[in-house]
Amino acid sequence: MAMTLKNFADTARESLKRTQERMVKQANKHRGEPDFGIGDKVFIVKKSWSSTDRPSDKLDFPLTRLSYKIKAMREYSYELGLPENWRMSRLFYADRLRKDSNKPLPGQEYERLNPDIVDGEEEWEVENILSSRIYYGKLHYMVQWRGWDTDSEYCNAHNFINAPFKIREFHEQNPDCEGPPARLKNWERAFANDEILTSLKDDNKLANPLKGLIIPHSRK
């Protein structure tokens, strides 16, 4: 019985190794030999991450906004020097990494600011809310991120659950713009009490749903 279990474990281990080798070969077909090694800084490709659609992934940007140093190399993967509060794996295959050439990425200033890490994802500070709109029935905002060039992309309102007073300020100064969010008071209360809110479906809804409607004039 013990020998049978050992044989099964050995077979499973060998099967896993062959699967890893196939994955690496498949990845290398699409990309040449890695141009980075221990000590280099790399960005992480965010594809296949389970996204919470918070500011961390604010524009579905394909790479992390901050680069991280490679600490060690394993047989098929690289270990990165990530913050202590990083909750996801620290090991990545080569096809998930891109070398940091020390040149600013589009929309990035030369002085890189460190983000907060929330649930293993980068979260950046909102400097100002610039505009709002309704898109497919959901409230969106365009913002100025602190330390970054102005970007013209819009993000779902629930991305800004941690910036409720910026949203309040924007709507007080721009009362005719779409919004505010239906749960803005909940966001403000949680922020003031240092509570963590779970994003809900209603976070992208308008406080006044009629505000986003275009009512046609009746013909006489």
Q: How far apart are CA 91 and CA 77, in angstroms?
A: 6
Instruction: Give 72-88 pLDDT, tens digit per residue.
Output: 888 778 888 887 767 77
Does 62 score more than 70 pLDDT? no
173 vs 106 pLDDT, higher one: 173
**Of the candidates 185, 186, 168, the residue with the CA atom closest to the CA atom of residue 177:** 168
**Of the candidates 153, 164, 199, the residue with the CA atom closest to the CA atom of residue 58:** 153
Query: Could you give the residue ranges of the DSSP H alpha helices within the chain?
Result: 2-30, 164-173, 184-192
Instruction: Give 180-213 pLDDT, tens digit per residue.
Output: 998 888 888 887 877 777 777 778 888 776 554 4
**Of the candidates 191, 190, 185, the residue with the CA atom closest to the CA atom of residue 207:** 185
Distances (CA, A) of 45 to 17, 33, 70, 87, 135: 24, 17, 14, 16, 27
Q: How far apart are CA 208 and CA 185, in angstroms?
A: 14
Angle in degrees, 0-180, between the axes of helices 164-173 and 184-192, rounded to the nearest 10: 130
126 and 170 Cβ atoms separated by less than 8 Å: no
Q: Hey, what amino acid is at 117? A: I
pLDDT attached to residue 149: 67
Q: Which band of pLDDT confidence, cut at 50, 70 and 90, is reported for residue 42?
A: confident
The full set of domain ranges for the chain reads: 36-102, 125-212
Instruction: Give 93-152 pLDDT, tens digit per residue.
Output: 888 888 887 755 554 444 445 555 555 555 567 888 899 999 888 999 988 877 666 767
pLDDT attached to residue 170: 92
- What CATH class does 125-212 carry? mainly beta
pLDDT attached to residue 171: 92
182 and 161 Cβ atoms separated by less than 8 Å: no
pLDDT attached to residue 139: 92
pLDDT attached to residue 50: 46
Average pLDDT score over the chain: 72
